[in-house]
Homo-oligomer: A and B are copies of this chain.
């Protein structure tokens, strides 16, 4: 398995853990020693393993798991660090996500997650054209 394949599989495992409320799987995939952080949509920074994992426990304490489907995942490699960019179809909307992975003690682990909403026009595109500049970015 290439590093790219390993990282994409870990990205899938991250969403599977969330969608099935599998907290032990979620806990296992985050880095233990290297710094971790998380930016859930609309919320301030969670920094550090304890705060990040507490947020996933909190999410998983809600009555019903949220269905999440991932599409258009791409991975960019930087040696022992990898960035996965993907779209999350969740609760009728679409979020764009950046997921950072690091090689720690020989295994790939998650180091950071940020997700934020796509605009309605972008949500309708099954294959967003990366080379088309938006009219208004901020």
**Chain A residues close to B by CB (< 8 Å):** 34-37, 39-48, 50-51, 54-55, 57-59, 62, 66, 72, 74, 76-81, 83, 85, 87, 90-91, 96, 98, 100, 102, 111-112, 114-119, 122, 125, 128-131, 133-138
List, in ascending order, chain B residues with CB within 8 A of A117's CB. Answer: 42, 116
| Cβ–Cβ contact B96 & A134, under 8 A | no
The listed residue (B45, B76, B77, B125) touching A44 by CB distance below 8 A is B125
Which interface residue of A51, A114, A117, A137 has the most chain B CB atoms within 10 A? Answer: A137
List, in ascending order, chain B residues with CB within 8 A of A100's CB. Answer: 83, 98, 100
Q: In the complex, A118 Cα to B116 Cα: how many Å?
A: 10
Main secondary structure of the interface of A (DSSP, over half): mixed
List, in ascending order, chain B residues with CB within 8 A of A83's CB. Answer: 37, 100, 111-112
Query: Least Cβ distance of A115 to chain B in Å?
Result: 8
| Cβ–Cβ contact B116 & A39, under 8 A | yes
| Cβ–Cβ contact B138 & A45, under 8 A | no
